[in-house]
């Protein structure tokens, strides 16, 4: 599987889980429980991008500006998650969850619309397949069972 398809599949899982967690009829404790797993998955997803995906792409100078923007978005999201873990107020936690859902969804969209089309033009298919294998290996080392 090429790296882009691999990442798209993870984005799909992330979006699906955010949609499930933000459902109104879910209790706060169930939301928090499911968020523990989702935030772990998100954390490892961004680490995977920052440790394997971006360093490989950065060799191409035409991709560097977009990558810088994406890393800034990832740092922001990580801060929000940290805040959520620290807050005891359920209302604030819920509001922040909605904001995070939107931010993460926009971030994934930025990757899909601003980065991937450029990558498809600039990087050879066989290199993308080799990178896909590395991403898969990283994921099996950092397994998180999302529903
Ligand atoms: Fe990302
Ligand atoms: Fe991503």
Q: Which structure tokens are listed for 79?
A: 């801060």
How many angstroms separate the alpha carbon of residue 63 from the centre of ligand 2?
15
**Residue 105 Cα, ligand 2 centroid: separation in angstroms?**
10
Give long-range contacts, CB 8 A cutoff, 24+ apart: 46-49. Answer: 46/74, 46/77, 46/78, 47/138, 47/142, 48/135, 48/138, 48/139, 48/142, 49/7, 49/74
- Largest Cα–Cα separation, the chain: 49
Taking the CA of 75 as reference, the closest ligand is 1
In whole angstroms, what is the distance from residue 105 CA to residue 48 CA?
A: 18
Ligand 2 mean position, distance from CA 109 (Å): 9
- Radius of gyration for the alpha carbons in the chain, expressed in angstroms and rounded: 16
**Predicted local confidence at residue 147, as pLDDT:** 77
User: What is the residue-level pLDDT of the chain in tens, covering all 147 positions?
Assistant: 999 999 999 999 999 999 999 998 999 999 999 999 999 999 999 999 999 999 999 999 999 999 999 999 999 999 999 999 999 999 999 999 999 999 999 999 999 999 999 999 999 999 999 999 999 999 999 999 887
Q: Hunting for tokens 């990832």 — which residue is that?
A: 74
Q: What is the 3-state secondary structure (H, E, C) of 15-71?
A: HHHHHHHCCCCCCHHHHHHHHHHHHHHHHHHHHHHHHHHHHHHCCCHHHHHHHHHHH
Is the pTM higher than 0.75? The answer reads: yes
**How many whole angstroms from 142 Cα to the centroid of ligand 1?**
16
Q: Which ligand is closest in space to the CA of residue 74?
A: 1
Contacts of 99 (CB under 8 A, 6+ apart): 80
């Amino acid at each position: 599987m090429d790296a882009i398809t691999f990442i798209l599949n993870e984005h799909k899982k992330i979006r699906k889980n955010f949609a499930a967690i933000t459902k109104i009829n879910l209790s706060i404790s169930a939301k928090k429980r499911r968020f523990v797993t989702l935030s772990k998955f998100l954390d490892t997803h961004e680490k995977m991008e920052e440790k394997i995906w971006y360093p490989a792409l950065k060799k191409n100078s035409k991709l560097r500006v977009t990558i810088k923007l994406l890393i800034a978005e990832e740092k922001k999201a990580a801060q929000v998650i940290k805040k959520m873990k620290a807050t005891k107020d359920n209302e604030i936690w819920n509001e922040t969850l909605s904001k995070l859902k939107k931010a993460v969804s926009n971030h994934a969209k930025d990757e899909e619309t601003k980065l991937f089309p450029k990558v498809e033009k600039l990087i050879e298919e066989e290199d993308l397949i080799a990178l896909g294998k590395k991403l898969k290996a990283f994921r099996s080392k950092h397994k998180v069972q999302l529903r």
